A and B are shown apart, each in its own frame.
Chain A
Amino acid sequence: MLPLAIGAVLAVMLMTWAVVLYNGWVKGRNRAKNAWSQIDVQLKRRHDLIPNLVETVRGFAAHEQETLESVIEARARATAAPDVRSTARAESALGGALGRLMVVAEQYPALQANDNFLALQEELASTENRIGFARQHYNDSVMDYNTAIQSFPANFLSGSFGFTEETHFELTDEAARRTPAVAF
């Protein structure tokens, strides 16, 4: 009778442990997913800002056609990117193109004095920051989640429940990650 009771208590404790672990993993995975959608929101915000920015710059520096076109093209490619890896690549190219545009804009005092442009510049700087912080938060969440499902002894269970590692989001292009020209 006693061994049976001990066995039952142990089984219940094991079950509880598994349930707590499982719920923790679900929470972690949802956090990572939610964090990912935040990056998307901010990238969308950047895409929405670009047409307005390009038009404003065009008004003062129409003959910088090449730079303007490259920004528009990069934006089109970024919005059309199908998966995570190509999104990262297209977004970093877009960041580079925007950086060049801002360098060009610095040569036009009239543009630098335009209220509309200054407001856009602040919005763009903030958007770059937001993308950076959203990415930071996503990577933090992914790291927490990955640590949780990989650590011993939980790693024996996590695989069988279908919890797999999430990938980090890195902007590969170092120039795009910094976007120094936007910080003014």
Chain B
Amino acid sequence: MWEAIESNRRRSWVLVAISGAGLLAFGTLIGLIVDPAFFWVGTLSALGLFFTLWTLAWVGGHRVLLSAAGARRLDSALELPLLFNVSEEMCIAAGLGWRPALYLIEDPAPNAFAVGTSKDDASLAVTSGLLQKLSRDELQGVIAHEIGHLVNRDTHFMTLAGVLLGSIVLLAEVFRRTLLLGGGFVARRRASSRSLSIQTHALLLVAGILAAVLAPVLARALYFACSRKRELLADATAARLTRFPDGLANALEKIALHAAHSRSAGSRVLAPLCIVNPRRAFGEAGWFSTHPPLDLRVAVLRGMSGGAHYGAYEESYRQVSGGRSCLPPSTLASRRALVKREAHLDSSESSTERREAVHAALGRLAGCTTATCLCGVAFRVPPSLALDFVTCPRCGRDNELPLAEHDQPSVPAENRPSVPSVPAQRYVVDEPGWQSFRCRCSKTIHVSPALLAREIVCNTCGRRIEIVRRANLARPRTRSEERRAHASD
């Protein structure tokens, strides 16, 4: 694994150096054409462009991407224990020592992506569909692929490569427009300078135009070739971490199958980041595709007969693609076979409980009050709803939203002088798990199952709310418990 990281770093530097030199040469060429005496202005502006874009990408790139995807941060492991556990397991398997921040996107199509360049801003975003449609083994494969991107520093490298590509494309665009709109400007400058002959200048101009047309295309092709290589390496890393390539293979197929229903991840900016490009899940990969063809990826993963190590992946790739190689040779140095594990017995994919848990987590993240009608329909009521009841669309019952009750504080007020003197309220928790209710000021409040405090303060109106927990044994069964008990009888 370490070899893969090292070799990645070396290759990345070579690539970045080449593209960087290309960018500088292009800038210098433009400078020469515009004014030979001040060719360094071109070089400097190319550099300036690069550093501006680089700073922007470094400082806020991951945040922009996450908010473009509509991702919301999951702060507590209690929100979705399964996702947190699987991610933690994969971080341990990779020996990472830290876990990226986890984000949830409301989207029925399963997909996932990782962004961020350092330990502090590394983030992993998954869609709700991913959690609802995949089994634990498949989810593990997907998370391992994304952790693989982080471990192999792909997010790091692709950000840098993207910035270089962006600079080259922008520079070419500016140059083309200058030529089109301000050809006279170039000609005037030429007349005023005596350092270059007309022939040389004409040659330079032709070279400049050629570069302006070719450089962006070449840079793009190079960028996408890198991107495809990195996807393959991340697949290989996932197989190595999980020791179960079939999990990821199954997941890729499922994701591609549902990609057509994607809501948010289908945007052009995000598509290259996702584990499966939702805009072109199937079909041939050309020079400008960000991901290798899905059939190829699945076939390679399924064909790993020799074990779960990089060598087995490479061998399988050779067989599928007719003798070509996909992984850097130094990753294959260790010839040690890693044994694949068997599938877990659990195939509790999309169990009712898990779907409900994801649904409830989405509701909490959106600040909704959750309520369940007697007929079993669960609601997510947005905070903007001014009513304090909601009509069930199935049975037509009016359901009152859970609301804090007025109450006298149980502790004398003089003991708590710091809290503003607004009437106290009370809320009785009689079910385990997350609770949501509305304060008298109509602000929605969520109570975590781990909350130990007896009293909380509404952060909108400052009212105190006493949380009364009914004794665990005396409580009646909840509706989901009722259903499970019924099912297992």
Contacts and interface: CB of A to CB of B under 8 A. Distances in A.
A118 to B, nearest CB: 8
Contacts of A141: 95
Contacts of B92: 38, 42, 130, 133-134, 137
A143 B336 contact: yes
User: Among the interface residues A42, A115, A122, A180, which one has the most CB atoms of the partner chain B within 10 A?
Assistant: A115
Contact of B481 (A113, A129, A137, A143): A113
Given A122-B82, A122-B85, A133-B92, A34 B485 contact: no
A82 to B, nearest CB: 25
Interface in B74-117: 81-82, 85-86, 88-90, 92-95, 97
B95 A35 contact: yes
B488 A112 contact: yes
Interface in A97-147: 109-110, 112-116, 118-119, 122-123, 125-126, 129-130, 133-134, 136-137, 140-141, 143-144, 147
Nearest to B472: A116
A110 B487 CA distance: 11
Question: B interface, how many residues as a size bin?
Answer: 35 or more
A136 B348 contact: no
Contacts of B464: none
Nearest to A122: B81
Given A38-B95, A113-B482, 16 more contacts: A35-B95, A109-B485, A109-B489, A113-B477, A113-B485, A113-B488, A116-B472, A118-B353, A119-B81, A122-B82, A123-B81, A133-B90, A134-B93, A136-B243, A140-B338, A184-B346
B1 A140 contact: yes
Interface centre among B86, B432, B488 (most CB of A within 10 A): B488
A137 B93 contact: yes
Interface of A: 31, 34-35, 38, 42, 109-110, 112-116, 118-119, 122-123, 125-126, 129-130, 133-134, 136-137, 140-141, 143-144, 147, 180, 183-184
A58 to B, nearest CB: 13
B481 A115 contact: yes
A137 B243 CA distance: 12
B194 interface: no
B457 to A, nearest CB: 28
A114 B481 contact: yes
B478 interface: yes
Given A113-B481, A122-B81, A183-B346, A144 B334 contact: yes
Contacts of B344: 183
Contacts of A35: 95
Nearest to B336: A143
B95 A34 contact: yes
15 contacts: A109-B489, A115-B480, A116-B432, A122-B82, A126-B81, A126-B86, A126-B88, A130-B92, A133-B89, A133-B92, A133-B93, A136-B243, A137-B95, A143-B334, A144-B2
Contacts of A125: 85
B263 interface: no
B375 interface: no
Contacts of B97: 34
A112 B94 CA distance: 33
B386 interface: no
B95 A115 contact: no
B306 to A, nearest CB: 17
B149 to A, nearest CB: 18
B89 A129 contact: yes
